[in-house]
């Protein structure tokens, strides 16, 4: 992995023993994948819900990202974007990247960002059990996850995905990545954080499977790793990135001891030579701050 971005927003050389985003060098240039950035302040993904009923970005989205690309050499990461029709079930006006209409609409966004001399990665998303029932019903979809464990007693119980569905989902991330490149993106960021589907396979708060997709650190890492491999094989590892949130409690997450699980996962991702690893700091839980203790630190990731 060539860089590490942490919220908010540290970048490090490949697993050096210190973050390099600080007040002495945040304005220094750095290469991330194929992008030569003029500084190290990255725009993190934020859901804006500015797509139409077909999940195609509206013109206001083009304007939104263009404004944030106004300083040449800036890296932007888009809001979470559905990888397939089956990955939906949450926000009806969230964007997608699984139809030609969506690809063409996104191209207006990327063209505008590039005209400012900046760069943009697309975040790829499957919501899994974090779907909302009314949105699922409207789309004619089932709530699925790694296991039949709901987020809480207030949420519906998801159906465990079959092996065939798992491999279909992996392929959908690769297809979405290709569509993203066709839409003009400089790369993609796999959303494996914040309690969405990939995170639901990674963490034992949700994953209770006893097959090759669960029951051990290695097996729980498999889904994430297979997606990362499929995407990097489709578009190149230097255009592939990933986001993780080892300590977040958002949407029913936070293993009792996340470090062994995420140390293994990061150590395996490292072999792929991805553009960057985006880590959410322990103090962040989705869209809110949380209390942390001294033992919660991302330092372990630097030595993974």
In the chain the domains, ranked by start, together with CATH numbers, are 4-302 (3.20.20.70)
Rounded Cα gap, residues 246 and 37, in angstroms: 27
Rounded Cα gap, residues 188 and 237, in angstroms: 10
User: Six-digit token pair at 49?
Assistant: 């819900």
**Nearest-5° angle of CA 115, CA 118, CA 123?**
115
Residue in this structure with the two tokens 């279909």, named with its chain if needed? 168
pLDDT of residue 13: 36
> Which residue in the list 19, 65, 155, 196 is annotated as catalytic?
196
The pLDDT of residue 8 is above 70 = no
* CA proximity to 43, closest of 84, 15, 79, 12: 79
Alpha helices in the chain (DSSP H): 59-68, 100-115, 133-139, 163-182, 197-202, 217-235, 258-270, 299-302
pLDDT digits (tens, 9 = 90+) for 204-243: 999 999 999 999 999 999 999 999 999 999 999 999 999 9
Cβ atoms of 166 and 126 within 8 Å: the answer is no
Q: Report the side by side order of strands in the sheet with 75-82.
A: 10-12, 4-6, 276-279, 240-244, 187-191, 119-125, 75-82, 42-43
Cβ atoms of 231 and 225 within 8 Å: the answer is no
Which of the 8 DSSP states describes residue 87?
A: G
Could you confirm whether 196 is annotated as catalytic?
Answer: yes
> For 101-110, 263-272, 287-296, which range has the lowest pLDDT when averaged over its residues?
287-296
Rounded Cα gap, residues 279 and 102, in angstroms: 28
- The pairing of beta strand 187-191 with beta strand 30-32: unpaired
Rounded Cα gap, residues 90 and 79, in angstroms: 14
- The pairing of beta strand 119-125 with beta strand 35-37: unpaired
Helix (H/G/I), strand (E/B), else coil: 160: strand
Cβ atoms of 190 and 243 within 8 Å: the answer is yes
Which of the 8 DSSP states describes residue 79?
A: E
Rounded Cα gap, residues 107 and 99, in angstroms: 13
Which of the 8 DSSP states describes residue 238?
A: G
User: Six-digit token pair at 106?
Assistant: 């996104």
pLDDT digits (tens, 9 = 90+) for 251-288: 888 899 999 999 999 999 999 999 999 998 777 666 66
Compute the mean pLDDT over every residue in the chain, rounded to the nearest whole number.
Answer: 90
The pTM of the whole model exceeds 0.95: no
Distances (CA, A) of 148 to 93, 123, 222: 27, 26, 19
For residues 25 and 144, the model is more confident at 144
pLDDT of residue 90: 84
pLDDT of residue 21: 46
Rounded Cα gap, residues 283 and 249, in angstroms: 10
* CA proximity to 265, closest of 234, 210, 227: 227
Residues above pLDDT 90, as percent of the chain: 76
The mean pLDDT value for 177-204 works out to 98
Helix (H/G/I), strand (E/B), else coil: 281: coil
Q: pLDDT class for 299, splitting at 50, 70, 90?
A: confident
Cβ atoms of 301 and 277 within 8 Å: the answer is yes
Q: pLDDT class for 164, splitting at 50, 70, 90?
A: very high
């Amino acid at each position: 992995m060539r860089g590490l971005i942490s919220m908010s927003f540290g970048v490090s050389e490949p697993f050096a023993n210190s973050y390099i985003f600080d007040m002495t060098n945040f304005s220094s240039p750095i290469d991330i994948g194929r992008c030569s950035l003029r500084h190290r302040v990255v725009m993190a993904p934020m859901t804006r819900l500015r797509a139409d009923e077909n999940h195609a970005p509206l013109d206001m989205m083009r304007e939104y990202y263009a404004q944030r690309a106004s300083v040449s050499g800036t890296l932007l990461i888009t809001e979470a974007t559905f990888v397939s029709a089956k990955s939906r079930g949450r926000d009806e006006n969230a964007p997608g990247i699984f139809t030609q209409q969506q690809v063409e609409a996104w191209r207006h966004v990327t063209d505008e960002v590039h005209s400012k001399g900046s760069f943009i990665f697309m975040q790829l998303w499957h919501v899994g059990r974090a779907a909302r029932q009314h949105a699922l019903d409207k789309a004619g979809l089932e709530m699925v996850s790694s296991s039949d464990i709901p987020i809480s007693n207030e949420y519906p119980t998801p159906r465990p995905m079959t092996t065939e569905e798992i491999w279909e989902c992996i392929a959908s991330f690769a297809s979405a990545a290709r569509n993203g490149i066709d839409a003009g993106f400089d790369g993609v960021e796999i959303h494996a954080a914040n309690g969405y589907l990939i995170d639901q396979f990674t963490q034992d708060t949700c994953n209770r499977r006893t097959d090759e997709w669960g029951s051990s650190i290695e097996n729980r890492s498999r889904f994430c790793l297979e997606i990362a491999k499929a995407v990097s094989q489709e578009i190149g590892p230097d255009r592939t990135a990933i986001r993780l949130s080892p300590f977040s409690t958002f949407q029913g997450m936070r293993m009792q001891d996340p470090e062994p699980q995420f140390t293994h996962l990061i150590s395996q991702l490292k072999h792929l030579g991805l553009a960057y690893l985006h880590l959410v700091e322990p103090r962040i839980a989705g869209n809110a701050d949380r209390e942390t203790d001294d033992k919660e630190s991302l330092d372990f990731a630097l030595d993974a």
